[in-house]
Amino acid sequence: MSFTIDKGIPIPQRSKARGLYDKTLSAMEVGDSVLFPWDKDPHNGEFLVTKKKQKISHAANGFMGFAYSKGCKTKSRTLEDGRRVWLIKKGEPNE
């Protein structure tokens, strides 16, 4: 197996979601929370579910991963209308 090496391909801009996560996280204080609604199928409006029939919120997962990368700790709970994420510990400013 071999791979093709490409030259001169520009690096695309980061996702806008990361900027939104950064703004949200920066505005939060310990104890604050954010509700992320469940993802819906754009074709039929049904909730997206895992193989175990659990509802999905990709935004909540992305936000929690982003917070972790900044040294923050979060907790989340599954609710009827979405997944709520609480900021438990703020990261250090230079992390």
47 vs 74 pLDDT, higher one: 74
Reply yes or no on whether the pLDDT at 54 is more than 80.
Answer: no
pLDDT of residue 95: 43
Contact 18, 59 (CB under 8 A): no
Give residue 70's pLDDT band: very low, low, confident or very high (50, 70, 90).
Answer: very high
Reply yes or no on whether the pLDDT at 65 is more than 80.
Answer: yes
User: Which residue, chain included where needed, has tokens 């093709």?
Assistant: 4
Contact 31, 86 (CB under 8 A): yes
The span from the CA of 17 to the CA of 9, in Å, is 23
pTM reported for the whole predicted model:
0.72
User: What secondary structure, in 3-state letters, does 27-74 show?
Assistant: HCCCCCEEEEECCECCCCCCECECCCCCECCHHHHHHHHHHHHCCCEE
